Amino acid sequence: MMKKAFPVYDICSLADHQHSDLLISRFAPYLQKHQNLSLPHKHTFYHVVFFTKGSGKHSIDFKYFPVEPHQIYFMSPGQVHRWSFEGPVDGYIINFSAEFFQSFLLRPDYLESLPFFTGNVDDEVINISADKQLQVTALFEQLIAESHGPGHMAMDMIRALMLQLFILVARHGVYSSQNTTPNYNYTLLQSFKKLTDKNFATLRLPKDYAALLYITPNHLNALCNDMLGIPAGEVIRNRVILEAKRLLVNLDLNITEIASKLNFADNSYFTKFFKKYTGLTPEDFRKNPIAQ
């Protein structure tokens, strides 16, 4: 029997009722019900949390952030996440599938055009300024009310409120990519990132991705250097290292199995690769991933 690579949750497994596309809740009762989510895990859905009180820390793909009131964070499917709270925490949570949100839009890629859903962890955690806190809180309260009432066209109202929330926060945030307009270079870079997400285990060279994008390797490198400040090869390596970290926190998998999943020829080659780019052996990272 093949071992699961990682604890993965869908919306049904976290909801009282079997709605596969949407869960909206106040955060405190959700946290009480799902205390196991303090351990590293993945979601198959989009995940939004707005804290109104609390402290501690949370991580997205091994980058840690302090929990603060009026902080909102966004996660895309597949990212690894964990919480470590100190004292009472409250706020709001929305879990939703891409299909739920996109079902009334003509643009199926709309979510990916939002700067906090592009997979860049630095853009996914936003502290809402005092002048917008009441507006954001009011939208979450409306979402809670619509999700608990049998109102006419409630699901469409929820979608409209979510869209309003996302646009409000997208306007409000300061993002690492200053130009989020989907121009040619931005779209090309997003296509490259999507391809690395799908193929990082088997395609390791920039020329492989350049061929899939119908551009030259020099063009791809120039694009990554201009927009990310790193060459294309480093983008690919970073994606391999991220997946290695995601797998290493699952103690059910041994190092040999992880090396195999990542398509390394043997355990030794994987260990050398991981240590070269992180400064740690896989075993050292596994002992204390929180410190990294």
Strands 41-43 and 8-9: what pairing?
parallel
48 and 126 inside one domain? yes
* Number of domains the chain contains: 2
The pLDDT of residue 88: 94
In a domain, 2, yes or no: no
Q: Which domain holds residue 218?
A: 184-291
CATH at 35: 2.60.120.280
157 and 190 inside one domain? no
**Whether pTM exceeds 0.85:** no
In a domain, 123, yes or no: yes
CATH at 222: 1.10.10.60
23 and 113 inside one domain? yes
Name the E strands within the chain. 8-9, 22-26, 41-43, 46-60, 63-66, 71-75, 80-96, 125-127
- For residues 99-113, b (16+ Cβ closer than 10 Å) or e, as one string? ebbeeeeeeeeebbb
Digitized pLDDT (tens) for each residue of the chain, 292 residues in all: 444 555 666 655 555 554 678 999 999 999 998 877 777 888 889 999 999 999 999 999 989 999 999 999 999 988 888 888 999 999 999 999 999 988 878 888 888 888 898 888 889 999 999 999 999 999 999 999 999 877 788 899 999 999 999 999 998 876 655 444 557 888 899 899 999 999 999 999 999 999 999 999 999 999 999 988 999 999 999 999 999 998 998 778 899 999 999 999 889 999 999 999 999 999 999 887 665 5
The pLDDT of residue 198: 93
153 and 236 inside one domain? no
Among the three residues 172, 203, 230, which one is the final residue of a domain in this structure?
A: 172
151 and 209 inside one domain? no
The pLDDT of residue 97: 92
145 and 88 inside one domain? yes
The pLDDT of residue 6: 52
The pLDDT of residue 2: 42
